[in-house]
Amino acid sequence: MDKLKMGRADRQRLVQTAREVGFSDAEILREILRGEYGGNHRRELVVEWGELLGLDATAALRLARETGLIPTSHPPRRRKAEMLPDKGPGTPS
């Protein structure tokens, strides 16, 4: 089923049915994004479907990031063991 060609009423019925079955907002978004690739495309879908879930764009994107559906905008931090030593004035190069 091509999710992009569904009408708004069909999408709203899909959300309503998923909620009746017991899906959470995160689970609904996970199903919507299944098989969809491309970071920007996935973000657009999250915002679009988040609106149908009653979420504003910020809340929908936050939920998707927290549940690992879209990557964060920041790279992961290095652990202490992976960090390079400081190259300060007292440190030999």
In the numeric block, which tokens belong to residue 45? 């879908």
Cα–Cα distance list, 39 to 6, 7, 22, 77, 82 (Å): 21, 23, 28, 20, 27
Query: Please, which pLDDT band fits residue 78 given cuts at 50, 70 and 90?
Result: low
Q: What is the predicted pLDDT for the residue at 6? A: 81
Per residue in 13-72, pLDDT (tens digit) is 999 999 999 999 999 999 999 998 888 899 999 999 999 999 999 999 999 999 999 987
Q: What is the predicted pLDDT for the residue at 90? A: 61
